[in-house]
């Protein structure tokens, strides 16, 4: 299997261009049809695969960190008469089931990042649609803050997956149409049932787009709208940005990946991957300007980038690794100090962007369809934002006291203000609020211990960990858990974990990922879509799909 690499940078892009003009950037989609991630298909009509979206995710990230001056981004096509035909159908038809679902999940996370750029960082996306905008192309538009449609008689928006392919818009399209754009249900039913899409005044009147513009003045209108958004932006980026230099990563044989602050070790026989995050090895920078001087080498940014890359690698390249074990190492006081610099300066664009990046990485942990367990061992560093990893896990095990023959300090858990709302989950609640959904008094009790290094007995009493064991029982209890988890059905585990991780209020985000996990995951396995006579496989042959008509 080809290893999928999520690291890239603008000089290596094959499908996107970034053009800068002061407060406004142009993000231009110009897909190289011969630049597919795998063989067997061409990316015609600006259709895309995971490789195209990896570049898009990188571009969105770089615009936030490297260009603090940019307040509005115009997303447009670099090809004539087509905006984007959506996810490449031949790629989907030929891809393994797991790849299809992980592809949809990554593209959803990338679309969420587009929306968050405007809502959280004041870097707003305006989508300029000229030509056919179908399926995933329209879902790309839906993720923007404002959609402008050319009124030229041929430009359309469409979600044709149901009539053409017997699948669903996999990047949250149905949910964004109803929840975000608040399209009336019956109109949404019509829109999602027709192949040809909707254009002109109907598209605007049904709220499928925000603005209808004549073709003759389209470019000028888009520029004016971008300037309007930039003028109203609250983004306060000043001075130079931070260049996101290449990660320091090396593969050690087939079973280990080493970064500067993150290490991954694989036990494929057991189906377990261990991710260890090394805390900072020195004091926090004296100021936010000193932090900017460190650039991408600052521990608090470097660790987030490395953890993000490790998670994506495991998701797409280690499909039979069913359990992720999170460990940390280092001095908790140093980790708290590095985090405090960000919290004390969250009005500064860089400190804010790093905190927001950790928010996205932690959400990536939540949404990873693997069993997650945290091991709080002697010498660990579960403090503040690193403690969020323990709260994101399905279970957590904490070592009691010192272990014989181990001179590392006993395990502690340290809460900081960031654990009480700075990094909300997809349900809009902090991980501790979610943990104590029916126990508000437990949340209040935990908050009374801010800044205290909590030993295992205290953490257990406060409900912050699942189990605590001394060195006599530790190894056996952890081993039994891992062996038990490996014995369960991976499908049942995915369903159970996805149900249990997100109690509390529903949001557009939880609905998108819940529906992806349940409905799209199921539909992608049904013969009506992917069977030899299914619609997805027959697309482009001139034959319509043959369906099993029984409703399930």
Mean pLDDT of 184-197: 97
Distance of CA 519 to the CA centre of its chain: 19
Tens digit of each residue's pLDDT (9 = 90 or more) over 320-348:
999 999 999 999 999 999 999 999 999 99
Alpha helices in 367-501 (DSSP H): 387-392, 431-435, 440-447, 456-461, 474-487, 490-500
Report, as an integer, the average pLDDT of 490-513. 94
Residues 100, 45 contacting (CB under 8 angstroms): no
Nearest-CA neighbor of 415 among 435, 386, 437?
A: 386
Report yes or no: 227 and 74 within 8 Å, Cβ to Cβ.
no
Q: What distance in Å separates the CA atoms of residue 256 and residue 266, rounded to the nearest whole number?
A: 6
Q: Is the pLDDT of residue 236 over 90?
A: no
pLDDT digits (tens, 9 = 90+) for 45-95: 999 999 999 999 999 999 999 999 999 999 999 999 999 999 999 999 999
Query: What are the tens digits of pLDDT across the range 311-322?
Result: 999 999 999 999
Calpha distance 60→52 (Å, rounded)? 13
Domain boundaries in the chain? 10-232, 250-493
Q: Average pLDDT for residues 161-190, to the nearest whole number?
A: 95
Nearest-angstrom CA–CA distance, 426 and 510: 6
pLDDT at 239: 78
In CATH terms, the fold of domain 10-232 is 2-enoyl-CoA Hydratase; Chain A, domain 1 (3.90.226)
Residues 27-32 have a mean pLDDT of 98
Half-sphere exposure of 132 (CA within 13 A, CB side): 16
Q: Which of 46, 198, 221, 73 is nearest to 148 (CA)?
A: 221
What is the per-residue pLDDT across 522-540, written as a single tens digit (0 to 9) for each? 999 999 999 999 999 999 8
On the CB side of 527, CA atoms within 13 Å amount to: 8
Per residue in 103-152, pLDDT (tens digit) is 999 999 999 999 999 999 999 999 999 999 999 999 999 999 999 999 99
Residues 117, 60: Cα–Cα separation, whole Å: 8
Domains 10-232 and 250-493 share a fold: yes
Residue 278 pLDDT exceeds 70: yes
| pLDDT confidence of residue 1 | 62
Handedness of CA 413, 417, 418, 421 (dihedral sign): positive
The pLDDT assigned to 238 comes to: 78
CATH class of 250-493: alpha beta
Rounded to an integer, the average pLDDT of 445-466 is 98
Instruction: Name the pTM for this structure.
Output: 0.97
Helix (H) or strand (E) holding 256: strand 256-258
Cα separation of 495 and 370, whole Å?
10
């Amino acid at each position: 299997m080809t290893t999928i690499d999520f690291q890239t940078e603008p000089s290596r892009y094959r499908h996107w261009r970034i053009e800068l003009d002061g407060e406004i950037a142009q993000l231009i989609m110009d897909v190289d049809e011969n630049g597919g991630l795998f063989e067997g298909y061409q990316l015609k009509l600006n259709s895309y695969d995971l490789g195209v979206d990896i570049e898009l995710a990188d571009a969105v990230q770089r615009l936030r960190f490297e260009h603090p001056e940019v307040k509005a981004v115009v997303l447009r096509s670099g090809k004539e008469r087509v905006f984007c035909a959506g996810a490449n159908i031949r790629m989907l038809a030929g891809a393994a089931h797991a790849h299809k679902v992980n592809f949809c999940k990554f593209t959803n996370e990338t679309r969420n990042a587009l929306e968050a750029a405007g809502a959280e960082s004041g870097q707003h996306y305006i989508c300029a649609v000229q030509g056919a905008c179908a399926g995933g192309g329209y879902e790309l538009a839906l993720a923007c803050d404002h959609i402008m449609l050319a009124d030229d008689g041929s430009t359309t928006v469409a979600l044709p997956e149901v009539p053409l392919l017997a699948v669903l818009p996999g990047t949250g399209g149905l949910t964004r149409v109803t929840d975000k754009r608040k399209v009336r249900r019956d109109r949404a039913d019509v829109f999602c049932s027709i192949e040809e899409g909707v254009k002109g005044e109907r598209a605007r009147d049904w709220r499928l787009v925000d603005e209808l513009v004549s073709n003759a003045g389209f470019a000028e209108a888009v520029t004016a709208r971008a300037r309007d958004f930039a003028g109203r932006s609250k983004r306060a980026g000043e001075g130079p940005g931070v260049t996101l230099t290449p990660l320091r990563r090396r593969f050690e044989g087939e079973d280990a990946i080493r970064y500067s602050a993150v290490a991954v070790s694989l036990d494929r026989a057991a189906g377990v991957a261990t991710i260890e995050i090394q805390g900072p090895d020195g004091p926090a920078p004296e100021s936010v300007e000193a932090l900017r001087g460190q650039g991408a080498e600052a521990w608090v940014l470097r660790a987030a980038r490395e953890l993000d890359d490790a998670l994506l690698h495991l998701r797409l390249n280690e499909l039979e690794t069913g359990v992720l074990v999170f460990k940390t190492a280092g001095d908790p006081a140093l980790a708290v100090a590095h985090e405090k610099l960000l919290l004390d300066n969250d009005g500064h664009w860089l400190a804010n962007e790093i905190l927001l990046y950790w928010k996205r990485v932690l959400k990536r942990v939540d949404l990873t369809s693997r069993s997650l367990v945290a091991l709080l061992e002697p010498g660990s560093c579960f403090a503040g934002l690193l403690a969020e990893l323990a709260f994101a896990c399905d279970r957590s095990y904490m070592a009691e006291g010192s272990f014989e023959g181990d001179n590392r300090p006993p395990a502690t858990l340290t809460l900081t203000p960031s654990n009480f709302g700075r990094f909300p989950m997809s349900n809009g609640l902090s991980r501790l609020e979610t943990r104590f959904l029916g126990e508000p008094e437990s949340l209040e009790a935990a908050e009374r211990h801010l800044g205290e290094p909590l030993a295992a007995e205290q953490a257990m009493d406060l409900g912050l960990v699942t189990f605590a064991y001394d060195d006599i029982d530790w190894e056996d209890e952890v081993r039994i858990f891992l062996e038990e988890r490996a014995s369960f059905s991976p499908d049942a585990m995915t369903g159970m974990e996805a149900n249990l991780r997100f109690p509390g209020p529903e949001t557009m985000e939880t609905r998108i990922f819940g529906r992806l996990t349940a409905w799209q995951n199921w539909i992608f396995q049904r013969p009506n879509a992917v069977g030899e006579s299914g619609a997805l496989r027959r697309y482009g042959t001139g034959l319509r799909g043959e369906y099993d008509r029984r409703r399930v």
